[in-house]
Chains A and B, each alone.
Chain A
Amino acid sequence: MNDRRRVNGPPGGTRPPVYASLLETGTGAGDRSQRQRQPAELRKICMHDDNLSAPAYQTNLWHFRTSVLKTGLIPSASGSSYLEFEPSASLTAARANPKSLIPPSSALKLACTVHGPKPLPRSAAFSPNLVLTTHVKYAPFAARKRKGHVRDSSERDLGVHLETALRGAIIAERWPKSGLDITITILEAEDDRWWGDAPDSHDASWGMMNVLAGCISAASAAIADAHIDCLDLVAGGVAALVSNDSTNSSSSAPRLMLDADPAEHRSIVSACVVAYMPARDEITELWLKGDSSKASLAAGDQRTGHEALIDGAVDAARGAYTVLAEAVRESLQRAFDQS
């Protein structure tokens, strides 16, 4: 489906030129970034303070920008939130001391707005429950390859996942006859793999799963900000089975990593994203793909690969929840102090 209403950019997208110096090994510019974290360590989620000074990554906190509501950036929204993942160490280094035009990896940044509850359109049928509409869109500049203005199938797919995740958390019967629109704009997306890698046999859109986890947490914060009744804050978490060996031999089995950045690993064999409500220990959305049967788990671990993967994703979601709860509490406290 072509967008005929706008003057669109080139369909193929553009990418920065690759200079010959990159191809020489040892300069460091063309090397894959390495994971600096422990397998169970999550990335920090960014805090933006009210004064919008330089983002501080020192604390493991994620502030939710209440100033967005007041500065009139999204004046009509009843709730909104902004989320940013900590960039990998190599990305921070590359930004401070650029050796190449191509950033080694990317860090997730997204903004979420909640509109409503508002009346349903006239054509809609009576609904005794809150009708949720989710809309996930990559900004055209979000990924290395330019995205069009019209939502493609992966964005629609993300929207369905997000809706499933949120609908389980919302107490829909408290808002009869009304609709809630959740719009997420992804400003910077995760890579599906390291940019220098050719797509290999384990290639799939792994970055999408990290994006979905971020969408879930951000949307939950925005819904809490809009004072829509929900059972619990719902946090997104990702775990992946990664194999880092370059020889691609089957000698080393894939290992479990929480919150894996696809750009940091040779290949991801299997990954799982969950939307998790800690107060109830319940999963509202589960998306697992890839072959999880060959996971190398700790000795004596009786779990099957997929169970370990789900448990890992839940642990990652628990980590995100602490930040999420802190952010919601803090924005509430701030509004309370001001009143």
Chain B
Amino acid sequence: MKYKESLLRMAWTPRNVLSTYRADLFKRKFLDSFAFHPPNHCSTITSHPLAHKGQHNGSFLPPLAIPGQCLGSVDNYGAGPGTHIQQSNIYASIAGPVVLDPAQPKAQTKGIIRITRTLLPSKQTAPIAGGAHAASAKSKPRYNTLPAVESIVLARVTRVQKRQATVSILVVLDDTNTPSADPSKTASDNDNVAAILSSAANPENHSSTDELRFQAQIRKEDVRAVEKDRVIMDEMFRVGDIVRGSVISLGDQSFYYLTTARNDLGVVMARSEAGNMMFPVSWNQMRDPYTGVAEQRKVARPN
């Protein structure tokens, strides 16, 4: 048996790289001018720059869009949520109803095209008397919302420590609904908000779904706006409380950061030591209706 070994360095440079490369590039550019161009479905819209004027749900905009559908040119519209811009045109990026927020005549802005995640027809997003609203709340569509900076969330306290409280986010409240709106009318990925809240207020009910919810922290200095250095976390939150908070940061790899340093933010639902639902009596106290015992909390101002 014999083995031939060889060891050498290879460093190859093609002979005339530069020249062939350039020639190739030129050829490509030349050929590109004949290349296939995707059908431009935007032409009908762009040719009518004023067509949308004064129309809330303009006839030149489709009522429903699917991802990749062209909605108009950036010259005429602004791109809102649920859309993206490509080659100076606005394209839908989710499937849903197209909504045109009309231009503000004073501010010299363009109308904003957005695609809503709720399947409510756009006319119902305007405040209409209760009937229509209740009907739409009944068949609630499911969709996904992520907590973003400044969004208002409802969260359940899972752990209280000296420097921070850990909460898991149950519901991200929709922009179109003010926080005062009945939570059961806010669309969310949790279909039955009322059920979540009532079950969550029960400290016995530690469901394993916490792992599937986004975790957040309320740091000691974000609990309230005044006397930040006197905050004692145990007197602000207890495990099982439902807290309304505002997202201040996407945070680190595992937690969002919330703040409750506003009058309308803080504990909205809590049970007493005895296990009864408490009602708020002041900005820092809640009371058990049966035993009459008051407990300390950072209470959200009731609406």
Report A162-200 residues with CB < 8 Å from chain B CB. Answer: 171, 175-178
B218 at the interface (CB under 8 A from A): no
Question: Given the complex of chains A and B, what is the CA–CA distance between A159 and B59 in angstroms?
Answer: 42
B193 at the interface (CB under 8 A from A): no
Q: Contacts A281-B36, A328-B95 given: A224-B66 contact, CB under 8 Å?
A: yes
Set B82, B91, B142, B213: member contacting A232, Cβ < 8 A: B91
| Chain B residues in 8 Å Cβ range of A228 | 94, 144
Contact with A along B49-75 (1 / 0, CB 8 A): 000000000000000101111100000
B136 at the interface (CB under 8 A from A): yes
Which of B117-125, B177-185, B272-280, B295-303 contacts the other chain? B117-125
A231 at the interface (CB under 8 A from B): yes
Which of A122-130, A211-219, A238-246, A256-264 contacts the other chain? A122-130
Set B37, B93, B136: member contacting A231, Cβ < 8 A: B93
B143 at the interface (CB under 8 A from A): yes
B109 at the interface (CB under 8 A from A): no
Interface size class of chain A, counting residues whose CB lies under 8 Å from the partner chain? 35 or more
Contact with B along A216-236 (1 / 0, CB 8 A): 000000001111111111000
Interface size class of chain B, counting residues whose CB lies under 8 Å from the partner chain? 35 or more
Contact with A along B78-92 (1 / 0, CB 8 A): 000010101000010
Contact with B along A89-123 (1 / 0, CB 8 A): 00000000000000000000000000011111010
Which of A3-11, A201-209, A331-339 contacts the other chain? A331-339
Whether the Cβ atoms of B93 and A230 lie closer than 8 Å is yes
B18 at the interface (CB under 8 A from A): no
Whether the Cβ atoms of A339 and B68 lie closer than 8 Å is no
B96 at the interface (CB under 8 A from A): yes
Whether the Cβ atoms of A78 and B64 lie closer than 8 Å is no
Report A236-281 residues with CB < 8 Å from chain B CB. Answer: 277-281
A68 at the interface (CB under 8 A from B): no
A143 at the interface (CB under 8 A from B): no
Q: Which of B86, B97, B141, B146 has the most CB of A within 10 A?
A: B146
Q: How far is the CB of B96 from chain A (nearest CB, A)?
A: 7
Which of B19-27, B151-159, B250-258 contacts the other chain? B250-258
Q: How far is the CB of A310 from chain B (nearest CB, A)?
A: 12
A145 at the interface (CB under 8 A from B): no
A329 at the interface (CB under 8 A from B): yes
Question: Given the complex of chains A and B, what is the CA–CA distance between A122 and B66 in angstroms?
Answer: 34
Set A227, A231, A338: member contacting B139, Cβ < 8 A: A338
| Chain A residues in 8 Å Cβ range of B94 | 224, 227-230
| Chain B residues in 8 Å Cβ range of A336 | 64, 97, 119, 121
Question: Given the complex of chains A and B, what is the CA–CA distance between A227 and B82 in angstroms?
Answer: 9
Whether the Cβ atoms of A325 and B66 lie closer than 8 Å is yes
Whether the Cβ atoms of B93 and A171 lie closer than 8 Å is yes
| Chain B residues in 8 Å Cβ range of A232 | 67-68, 91
| Chain B residues in 8 Å Cβ range of A116 | 144
Q: How far is the CB of A253 from chain B (nearest CB, A)?
A: 26
Q: How far is the CB of B176 from chain A (nearest CB, A)?
A: 15
B264 at the interface (CB under 8 A from A): no
Set A124, A231, A332: member contacting B95, Cβ < 8 A: A332
Question: Given the complex of chains A and B, what is the CA–CA distance between A325 and B37 in angstroms?
Answer: 20
5 contacts between A and B (CB under 8 A): A119-B212, A224-B67, A228-B94, A230-B94, A281-B38
Interface of B toward A, CB cutoff 8 Å: 36-38, 64, 66-70, 82, 84, 86, 91, 93-97, 117, 119-121, 136, 139, 141-144, 146, 189, 211-215, 250, 252-254, 256
Q: Please list the 7 inter-chain residue pairs (A to B) with the smallest Cβ-Cβ separation, ordered nearest first.
A: A232-B68, A126-B253, A279-B68, A281-B38, A229-B93, A339-B119, A332-B95
